[in-house]
Amino acid sequence: MELPVISNAPAEKSGGCSASGCGSAPEALAHLPEDIRRKVQDHPCYSEEAHHHFARMHVAVAPACNIQCHYCNRKYDCANESRPGVVSELLDPEQAVRKVLAVAAAIPQMSVLGIAGPGDALANPRRTFATFRALAEKAPDLKLCLSTNGLMLPQYVDEIARHNIDHVTITINCLDAEIGARIYPWIYWQNCRLRGVEAARILIGQQQKGLEMLAARGILVKVNSVLIPGVNDAHLPEVSRTVKAKGAFLHNVMPLIAEAGHGTWYGLTGQRSPSAAELQALQDACAGDMAMMRHCRQCRADAVGLLGEDRGAEFTLDRIDAMDIDYAAAMARREEVRAALLGRLAAARTPAVTEAVTAAARPVLMAVAAKNGVVGEHFGHAREFLVYEASPAGVRFIGHRQAARYCGGADRCGDGDAAPESILERTIAALAGCEAVLCAKVGIEPWGRLEAAGIAPNGEHALEPIEDAVRAVYAEMAAAGKLAQAAAERKVA
Amino acid sequence: MTLQITEVCVNCWACVDVCPNEAIYADRPHLLIDDAKCTECLGDHAEPQCAAICPIECAIVGELGDPLNPPGSLTGIPPATLAELGLLAAGGR
Ligand code: SF4
Ligand code: SF4
């Protein structure tokens, strides 16, 4: 079967690592059980660490869809879900397999193959599973994953398990059918086109059932939600709680992309997209409940390469046909690269400071005024602090603490008139439990107050990567003999 | 007794997979319905399946060129808005 080309419009440049979402931003997976961490450690879409090093690709073998979303217009390609831009080359399963093998030979960091569209993976079961089946046989080292709207999920859970697909992404925008009716105008269900609340209720039911069934089989489930201001924004924290309770391991809230030019219902009816601040606030509201993915790049359905890059143009079918590939050697090479990368990541995680730190050293919490993955913020400017735990086992991300901001300007950091006592007090209270606070700069006034509260201010690691800085401070504490004392004694001392 | 696919079809293949008679085949610039095979789904389903899943208004038409999914019926975008933006597909052929 040959799938005709929908459009040859040039690929949109997908946003690379944006300044704030990337860098060594907090590892969102720190809280996960060890077995899940192992599964995702080389998955660029799930692990913030991995996404700098491992590559993924999507193949566009799934053109059909079985629902309509108001943020999508099939004529112009969906701007939301996992496929902004234009899917230029639809492939049949045989072509897709050839392409994957060629890419995996040329890019040995390839660890993940996904099917995400341009329609719905499970609305194209024959094409989707034929592709997976062939790849499981020919490149068993690749992780397979798929994205779906969930409508057909319960029917295919067994087949998903059979093909050794260990990651499934479900787009769940709501649990409430009334809200759903404002997002989904129709679904195709049991040979009929259904509309309104009835349609939304069926879709939501199928999504939730599918999620539970996948979780029961030990298949990792990530949930994507599109944040639509005024429609599901207030509802998403509940979505987050519910999907977590049912076993999803990650929740990814993505901003609605709606412009009239996209020809979508939302775009044409003036539905606005959320601001960055709204998105952040919502991610924070949901983060209390479960791991949030903040580095998602919303890649195209035919994306190739590291997250934030797309090398798809190098692998058109004509070019692939001209390539001479030794598949077995390529797989061996991938294994080498994978082992080396995982080794490097592990080495970066486990401290090189162990000389000073004895195994008996106690863990220490430190707060970091972070910016772009480094110790980059002035104490007085920080809106939030990232809290890390340093221990003989390494450095790990614990969570966020919201700061009360008090500093009025860059040059009056912390010691000017804009520093009401109560704000500083509230921030210091928010840092309770931390023994040090790492920032680019601290003013005299807060310096003294922090010390008095038992939190050592530290501006010596400005602009260093967060984890390196935390590790270094921990080593300094060890060298100063501070890690043998219990935390309580220290406070008094 | 046969339906047809018009030039607004985006080749998404959704109709191919649901046709009980394998009546839809690939062609350029878009898929086509084989009149010898199409039964309008009579006897198989209450609604013609291609028209029940097709996401594109006016892509599937009856013998007289009448769209089974007229403008505004699938997206909810009023035909007037579509016309204003020059997005209104010509119904039929
Ligand atoms: S009306 Fe029914 S038989 Fe005819 S093409 Fe459509 S799905 Fe096939
Ligand atoms: S479902 Fe509609 S748009 Fe899709 S291929 Fe069939 S006729 Fe074309």
In chain B, which residues have their Cβ closer than 8 Å to the Cβ of A1?
Answer: 26
B61 lines ligand 2 (CB under 6 A): no
Q: Which tokens hold the place of A286?
A: 């949901």
Nearest chain B CA: its distance from A188 CA (Å): 6
Q: Locate the ligand 1 atom nearest the alpha carbon of residue B45 and give its number.
A: 2
More confident residue, A400 or A366: A366
Inter-chain touch B85–A63, beta carbons under 8 Å: no
Inter-chain touch A268–B81, beta carbons under 8 Å: yes
**Out of A26-30, A430-434, A480-484, least confident range:** A26-30
pLDDT-derived band of residue A480, with 50, 70 and 90 as boundaries? Answer: confident
pLDDT confidence of residue A283: 80
pLDDT confidence of residue A77: 54
pLDDT confidence of residue B58: 92
What percentage of chain A carries pLDDT values higher than 70? 72
- A6-20, A36-50, A444-458, range with greatest mean pLDDT: A444-458
**Out of A326-335, A426-435, B34-43, least confident range:** A326-335
pLDDT at A158 exceeding the cut of 90: yes
Please, which residues have CB within 8 angstroms of residue A452's CB and are 6 or more apart in sequence?
none
pLDDT-derived band of residue A37, with 50, 70 and 90 as boundaries? Answer: low
- Indicate which residue's Cα is closest to atom 3 of ligand 2: B9
Region A434-443: mean pLDDT is 91
Per-residue pLDDT tens digits for A258-284: 777 777 888 888 888 888 778 878 887
- A94-98, A265-269, A304-308, A342-346, range with greatest mean pLDDT: A94-98
Closest ligand to residue B15's CA: 2
Inter-chain touch B47–A192, beta carbons under 8 Å: yes
Per-residue pLDDT tens digits for A43-97: 655 555 555 567 778 888 988 999 999 988 777 655 444 433 344 568 889 998 9
ipTM of the complex: 0.90
How is domain B1-93 classified at the CATH fold level? Alpha-Beta Plaits (3.30.70)
pLDDT at B60 exceeding the cut of 90: yes
Q: Locate the ligand 2 atom nearest the alpha carbon of residue B5 and give its number.
A: 7
**Out of A67-71, A114-118, A319-323, least confident range:** A319-323
pLDDT at B88 exceeding the cut of 50: yes
Residue pair A45/A307 in contact (Cβ under 8 Å)? The answer is: yes
Measured in degrees and rounded to the nearest 5, phi and psi for residue A17 equal: -65, 110
The reply to whether omega before A351 is within 30° of 0 (cis) is no
Give all domains of chain A, ordered by start, each with its CATH number.
27-318 (3.20.20.70), 364-492 (3.30.420.130)
More confident residue, A360 or A119: A119
Is the minimum CB–CB distance between B83 and chain A shorter than 8 Å? Answer: no
pLDDT confidence of residue A268: 83
Specify the 3-state DSSP secondary structure of B23. Answer: coil
pLDDT confidence of residue A308: 52
B18: CA distance to ligand 2 center in Å? 11
Q: Is the pTM of this model over 0.80?
A: no
